[in-house]
Structure 1
Amino acid sequence: MGDMVTGGQLVARMLKKEGVRHIFTLSGLHVAPIYAGCVEEGIQVIDTRHEQAAAHAADAYARVTRGVGVAVVTAGPGVTDALTGVANAHAASSPM
């Protein structure tokens, strides 16, 4: 068999293809493979203290840079904690 590619590597490769240079996150075990893939692809991982902060930071990044803002959050409460930032981005048509 050839070299195996992880799901995290695939996510990171697609983010890079879309021009993403930074992701905002609160570290969690479910998304650790994405971090590893991002490091391999040269995407900077910016760790925050709360998922809501990660979502708002990704939204602000998108608005300021006019690029794609990416928040990576873990399952369960990580997703629900990020909802306010996602809703604000959606309401403003921000490319988050």
Structure 2
Amino acid sequence: GFDDGVFSVQDEAAQLPAELIEAPAQGRLLDACAAPGGKTGQLAERFPDATLIALDNDAARLDRVRSNLARLGAQATVLAGDAADPSGWWDGTPFDAILLD
């Protein structure tokens, strides 16, 4: 089932942040330290109609995020950038929720 996106492996503590986020169903969400993509996938499943941005400052690690999203059949915009310096990646549109862990 893992290869088919039926489940993901993630410890309980890692699962909690995405479960506790409150946002509109069609909101705009940012996973600010997205790699390897477990929480991004979880957010995509929990908020399928949201606009989801997966951001990480290590571009090489974003391949894993893309791979996990593809395995889950989930969608997100995947960007390389530093959450502490949004001038290089942020379009200025506010987010309804930000996961920063």
Shorter-chain TM-score tier: 0.3 to 0.5
Using structure 2 for the length normalisation, give the TM-score. 0.37
Higher-Rg structure is: 1
Normalized per residue, the structure richer in strand is: 2
Normalized per residue, the structure richer in helix is: 1
Using structure 1 for the length normalisation, give the TM-score. 0.39
Q: Which protein has greater RCO, CA pairs closer than 8 Å, 6+ apart?
A: 2
